[in-house]
Amino acid sequence: MGKIIAIANQKGGVGKTTTSVNLAASLGVLEKKILLIDADPQANASSGLGIDVDSIEVGTYQVLEHTASAKDAIIGTTSPNVDVIPAHIDLVAIEIELVDKQEREYMLKKSLTDLKKDYDYIIIDCAPSLGLITLNSLVAADSVIIPIQCEYFALEGLGKLLNTIKSVQKIHNQDLDIEGLLLTMFDSRLRLSNQVVDEVRKHFSSMVFDTIIRRNTRLGEAPSYGESIIAYDATSKGAINYLNLAQELIKKNS
């Protein structure tokens, strides 16, 4: 049975999509079968793996609405062992459309039940909000990875997210675990970066991944070519960081 991991933080620009795409690609290269679900209306995870977002006819929106099965929405990618359920800008409307539905928080969970046996890991790239789509992702997930950027407001909003996770555990999904906090955009030359690392490790010790994702130009360039960092530049710091993260995740779950 596969493990469903949501990558969530309501703060934008912390490296959620970068992590979703590159962790998926790294796990794929390590011969794990991966499904990446794009649950963000911006659809950056889809375009970041070379999918033409405008041509999407069936994606996360239809899966959440239950007008298409998750199997029908899966698209193969050029990244080894990685499939995607893509998003489209129409996903913005789903919050309004689900609001009157019964068990609206469980729409994604129900759609993914049959897929767990087909993949080693299902990774959900969440939107930068704590709305209904992110709630669906947390209810469907077995665990959550929280990216935290090594910058001034790093811990701002983390308490709010941890409270959301607690209430999801209490009401909807008592099996939801925190897979770990992931430090991103680390720049060893900056005193602030090092202070954030120390602070996060002090407060959350064993919850923090050993792997730190360093600030890396190649990581920023890769999405514009519709490629993961593994395909774009496998020797870059960014690629090595994400491969290390993938190995750490596999070891943790073996």
> Each residue of 129-141: pLDDT tens digit?
888 999 999 999 9
Quote the distance between the C-alpha of residue 29 and its chain's center.
Answer: 17
- Pick from 34-48, 147-161, 240-254: least confident: 147-161
CA distance 120 to 142: 13
CA distance 36 to 75: 10
- Pick from 34-48, 89-103, 200-214: least confident: 89-103
At 102 the pLDDT is 87
Summary mean pLDDT of the chain: 93
At 157 the pLDDT is 79
Give the chain's domains with CATH numbers: 3-252 (3.40.50.300)
Instruction: Name the token pair of 112.
Output: 């993914």
Over residues 62-73, the pLDDT tens digits come to 999 999 999 999
CA distances from 126 to 5, 22, 41, 132, 145 (A): 10, 15, 9, 11, 11
The arithmetic mean of pLDDT across residues 44-56, rounded, is 93
The arithmetic mean of pLDDT across residues 165-173, rounded, is 94
pTM: 0.95
